[in-house]
Structure 1
């Protein structure tokens, strides 16, 4: 007798169970709470929404108020079985803890079993960091033959000179860039603003872009744009466009395909620390709320410290 096919097996089980409407309502109300009460950034809202959608997929017809720590531990195991990175699993757990805190505030649950959740130990993975020579190659990759080379060169210079996230660079407004005072003001996660210094080369590139290209792009826009970096239609660049630009110029410079806009942020922090900058100062420039997040970059100090040790320690 022939064995049933995979499709026949799935049909025999009936339709997949879906989470009940009340659970979906809890999650929807939580997202509204994050947006209106906590005033989280749009990207943070989207991340919480994605994580809770996965939670609802696992939840099926389970009742949220009845879930215990053992149930939530099964959820974490379920996440791990989907080959998510340790950092992604940890982020889902953080989202779940925050969600349960909201449910406590609303009186849906009395206890917060999510507080007891643990995840597999996250590796301190070395982020993708470019060498100074690779950075030079990348920043020089835009050529005069490229249609928007002034903008692209200024964009790459700002990413590396400031350590700003791609979303922060996309959100930069012309009025928040002070070339005379050599700094810019960007808006980070949670709407927090910070001042970041600009170097000579980035200032020169920005000025060239404003004088030679941006004025032409502004003329193409339906309304006068406020943002610094504009697309060919005169609209603000988005993160996808920035990501593609970095990928294209990295490929031209002969750099690994793993390079992204965030790689320039990693390189910014790494090179500062390797040059002797203080961790607190780098934390402030990166806009990290917790200094532990900044400490991931201290791996680069090992080679420098070994050199100092060999040079000065009497028994090195």
Structure 2
């Protein structure tokens, strides 16, 4: 660490060779100190990025915020930039720039109505269910913090009408039981990627980061410590899990058998040709190749996680337990990942005794 002479910031050399400049940016709405980070290949590049940030006015006091669009930028800077992975931050920024700002960014908080939010989601009906869910999460975070900072008195996203409208249009796709049985029984060389996701419920990045040292075959416990995520200056790097917390997953008999048959080619359970971790792109190509060559309906790697959560609930697991296994920060997120089966609904109604 190398501190600036004026004491306003400090330089840090990161494990990937880049430089981080961390500086005080005043006090946030909650009274806590705000710290900003700027990254580059040299101290000079970091300082130039810092000067450009100051020049842009993004460090202006919160009190100067006039429109929802301006608060969106503040929300990203104050609440997200340094507390989430770069990839997640980039997604939030994309939803704000492409969807939220064009629809309501010009409005003042005194002008926003529940109908504006409903109209936004109606306009974005062509987005995938996953994209609409993430758009909802971003909007809810923006207005929840706006309420806490007294820009508005209520969150229009969470109104009963809007919440019901959004929930009705966001349905989670999962694998059917027949498809699950086919995947788990397959001896295709690339079936392993879908099989491990279905047996563990891990995020793709968490599975890619899984090391043999994280697997205790004697106790039949998997410890989830890290995730592979996009680095800010290109490529991928190993980071903490999305929640920043370590969690544990128990092994079923079939998962135990599967892990004992896998060859150990390096530190990681799944490796590239050089015995390092796979990039997400490499993983996705191998995963998709399995579905293409076996000619079964393709769902993304994350749908394996949805499937895992859904069948745990269908099997009788408590929502709180599923929340812990998935590493969700709250049960509301877990509820979105569980699927309501129309067959179950019909079967349950058929038990009516009259």
Residue number in structure 2 paired with 1:238: 279
Residue number in structure 1 paired with 2:256: 203
Distance apart, 1:172 and its partner CA: 2.0
Residue number in structure 1 paired with 2:175: 130
Distance 1:138 1:252, change over 3 A: farther
SS in 2 for 1:190: coil
8 Å CA contact 1:34, 1:40 repeated in 2: no
- The 5 A counterparts of 1:95-114 are 95-99=138-142, 110-112=150-152
Residue number in structure 1 paired with 2:324: 284
Distance apart, 1:160 and its partner CA: 1.0
8 Å CA contact 1:167, 1:239 repeated in 2: yes
Output the CA distance in 1 between the equivalents of 2:176 and 2:291: 13
Residue number in structure 2 paired with 1:192: 245
Superposition CA RMSD, Å: 3.9
| TM-score for the superposition, normalised by structure 2 | 0.60
- The 5 A counterparts of 1:1-316 are 30-35=75-80, 39-54=83-98, 55-57=100-102, 62=106, 66-70=108-112, 74=116, 77-78=119-120, 80-85=122-127, 88-89=131-132, 91-99=134-142, 110-112=150-152, 115-117=155-157, 118=159, 119=162, 120-123=165-168, 126-143=171-188, 149=189, 152-187=190-225, 188-211=241-264, 214-215=265-266, 226-257=267-298, 259-295=299-335, 297=338, 299-300=340-341, 303=344, 306=347, 310=351, 315=353
Q: Which has the higher strand share?
A: 2
Bigger relative contact order, structure 1 or 2 (CA pairs below 8 A, ≥6 apart): 1
Distance apart, 1:165 and its partner CA: 1.8
Output the CA distance in 1 between the equivalents of 2:103 and 2:349: 52
8 Å CA contact 1:41, 1:191 repeated in 2: no
Output the CA distance in 2 between the equivalents of 1:67 and 1:249: 49
Distance 1:167 1:275, change over 3 A: same
Distance apart, 1:246 and its partner CA: 2.7
Residue number in structure 1 paired with 2:238: none
SS in 1 for 2:141: helix
Distance apart, 1:75 and its partner CA: 7.0
Distance apart, 1:159 and its partner CA: 0.6
Matched pairs, number: 267
Structure with max Cα Rg: 1
Q: Which has the higher helix share?
A: 1
Distance 1:79 1:247, change over 3 A: same
| TM-score for the superposition, normalised by structure 1 | 0.66
Structure 1 portions without partners, runs of 5+: 1-19, 144-148, 216-225
Output the CA distance in 2 between the equivalents of 1:29 and 1:173: 38
Distance 1:87 1:131, change over 3 A: closer
Structure 2 portions without partners, runs of 5+: 1-55, 59-64, 226-240
Distance 1:127 1:201, change over 3 A: same
Output the CA distance in 1 between the equivalents of 2:166 and 2:262: 46
Output the CA distance in 1 between the equivalents of 2:170 and 2:140: 24
Q: Deviations over 1:86-133 (max 9, x none)?
A: 76456435424534566788xxx7413772345334216553332333
